[in-house]
Structure 1
Amino acid sequence: MQDQTPLTETVLGNSPGPFRVGVLALANDQVIERDLARLLPPEVLTFTTRIAFGGDCTMEQLAKMAPQLAEAAQLLNPEVALDAVIFGCTSGTIAIGPETIRDAIQSVRPGALAVNPVEAASGALRHLGSRRINLVTPYEPEIAARMAAQFEAAGFAINRRYDFGITASEDISRVQPEAILEAAARLGGEGAEATFISCTDFQSLDVLERIETKTGIPAVSSNQAMAWDILASLGVANGVPGYGRLLSGIPS
């Protein structure tokens, strides 16, 4: 016999619930979702869609993603309001421009905070009181130089820089964490106030604290910085131990 007794509790709730964050990830990125899952607490839910990208990581190829941004942002759980939308590409932010990315996201998600790795990293470095930085990138020289110039334009000084010189985008996620650690350690800490490790597809998260130990200065990565930006902006004050000084305590 079927039980059709009315439920005593509301089936469809109207409570605001957890925070919701959309992630625009590149089609071949193998790292960003894994990193964010480790950095964001359970009350921050993430929804991911992919942006077509492949082949060589060049300024020309990266800039071609711009027309896809609004449509991709619209696909992020379209019937649910999002608190923030992440654009998950550091070099792509340089090629397209933070303002263009923000306008594209907010054209379809007007109430959402638009987050990108470059501005998140700049905010994180300022939060740490670091203006003179070492820079580690996976990129070939043109992109790496544009990255350095972007930070200099934002008021930072580049102390030393190490570039892996990778052009094929699928090779970036294959760089082992120990190699990233060695590159940052080679730059050292003398003359610098922090190390920024660029790229959302770079396996740097697990070695951030070891880099800090070897260099004596904070280490900031693209994904770690975006997690910090999200948590600080949403007022989620939980610390995330094990992933560098930046996340050891999130300001409210």
Structure 2
Amino acid sequence: MLNLKLITPEIEKLSFKIDKGAGEKARIGLLVLESDQSLEWEMRQITNIPGVSIYHSRLENDPIVTGENLAMMEKQLPVAAKLLPQYLNLNSIGYGCTSASTIIGEEKVSKILNNFHPGIPTSNPLTAAKAAFEVLNVHKIALLTPYSPDVTLAIQKKFNESGISVELIGSYFEENDEIVGKIDEESILQAVIKLGLNEKCDGVFISCTSLRAINIIEKAEKVIGKPITSSNHALAWHLLRLAGINDFQNGYGELFKR
């Protein structure tokens, strides 16, 4: 019998250098719902800027959007926030849920994130939308949501309390987040145009990170002649600005020129 001996080459030790790693200009942390199909996809498009990196963490949630289920996410926020490594030295962190930020409270969400990442600027879609409308000088809005009336009215109340008057509302009345993520862009475009053409409003907010809207915003703005933003659109803009990235970007409407 032949004695076949395996010949192993000597492993050469190679030299290397290190740099600042991915995200040398900005590193942004993002907490994404387990049921969300759209936020990461839209965020990647908008933040496709050299030197900017996005780091995601998912958190458990019930896909049926009710006030009770949204409130339960408060317990999951620390779990997801802890999974974003502190050594990354993130420049901003966002929680990707408009309705839960409304129910839990924007300040409470920010406090939970800062418990694990002290001193880092935080945002969520509701806070981001308010900041967006401030720079856009919009004070009266049309609100488009997929939610049940109780959740929609909770969001309306938060806007009204901040000095942004919700003048008209449209909703798909769909509680299942898994279905909301599949509402097509044409349906969203037509809804935005229908609401936005009303003379009562001077801007439109598309609420819910599951609604795919970033690719129809500029088109709709040209039709209605008013600024439009969405949960993902506003959150991406706000997180970039908080991280010190002030690049103007074409194709995403008036907000990204500010």
TM-score normalized by the length of structure 2: 0.90
Give the gaps of 5 or more residues in structure 1: none
Q: Matches of 1:57 and 1:219 in 2, distance apart? A: 24
Using the TM superposition, give the Cα deviation of residue 172 of structure 1 relative to its aligned residue in structure 2, in angstroms: 0.8
Secondary structure of the 2:29 match is strand
Identify the residue that residue 223 of structure 1 maps to in structure 2. 232
User: Whole-Å Cα distance in 2 between the matches of residues 108 and 191 of structure 1?
Assistant: 43
Query: Per the alignment, do residues 33 and 14 of structure 1 end up closer, same or farther by CA in structure 2, a change over 3 Å counting?
Result: closer
Residues 1:55 and 1:224: Cα distance change in structure 2 (over 3 Å): closer
**8 A Cα contact 2:203 2:228, kept in partner:** yes
Question: Partners in 2 of 1:4 and 1:139 — Cα distance?
Answer: 58
Take 1:231 and 1:78, find their aligned partners in 2: how far apart are those partners? 19
Q: TM-score, normalised by structure 1?
A: 0.92
Q: How big is the alpha-carbon RMSD for the aligned residues of Structure 1 and Structure 2?
A: 1.8
Q: 2:172 aligns with which of 143, 161, 164?
A: 164
3-state secondary structure, aligned to 2:143: strand
Q: Distance in 1 between matches of 2:213 and 2:24?
A: 32
* Structure-1 residue corresponding to 2:26: 19
Report the Cα offset of residue 189 of structure 1: 4.1
Q: Which residue identity does 1:12 align to in structure 2?
A: I
Partner of residue 214, structure 1: 223
Aligned to 2:145, the other structure's residue is in SS state strand
Task: Please list the CA deviations of residues 94-140 of structure 1 after superposition, one character each: whole Å capped at 9, or x if unmatched.
Answer: 11100110110000100321111001000000100000111111111
Q: Matched residues in 2 for 1:203 and 1:139: separation?
A: 15
Structure 1: which 4+ aligned runs deviate by more than 3 Å?
1-5, 12-16
Which of 246, 249, 255 is the equivalent residue of 1:240?
Answer: 249
Greater shift in the superposed pair: 218-227 or 231-240:
231-240
In the alignment, structure 2 segments of 5+ residues that lack a partner are: 1-9
- Equivalent residues of 1:73, 1:85 under 8 A apart: no
2:192 is aligned to 184
Q: Structure 1's 114 and 2: CA in aligned 2 closer, same or farther, altered over 3 A?
A: same
Distance in 1, matches of 2:137 and 2:34, equals 35
Q: CA deviation at 1:236?
A: 1.5
Aligned length: 246
Whether the aligned pair in 1 keeps the contact of 2:148 and 2:174 (CA below 8 Å) is yes
Instruction: Show the counterpart of 1:147.
Output: 155
Query: What CA distance in whole angstroms lies between the structure 1 residues aligned with 2:76 and 2:63?
Result: 17
Identity %: 30
TM-superposition CA deviations, 1:166-224 (whole Å, max 9, x none): 11121111111111111111111412111011111101111111211221101111111
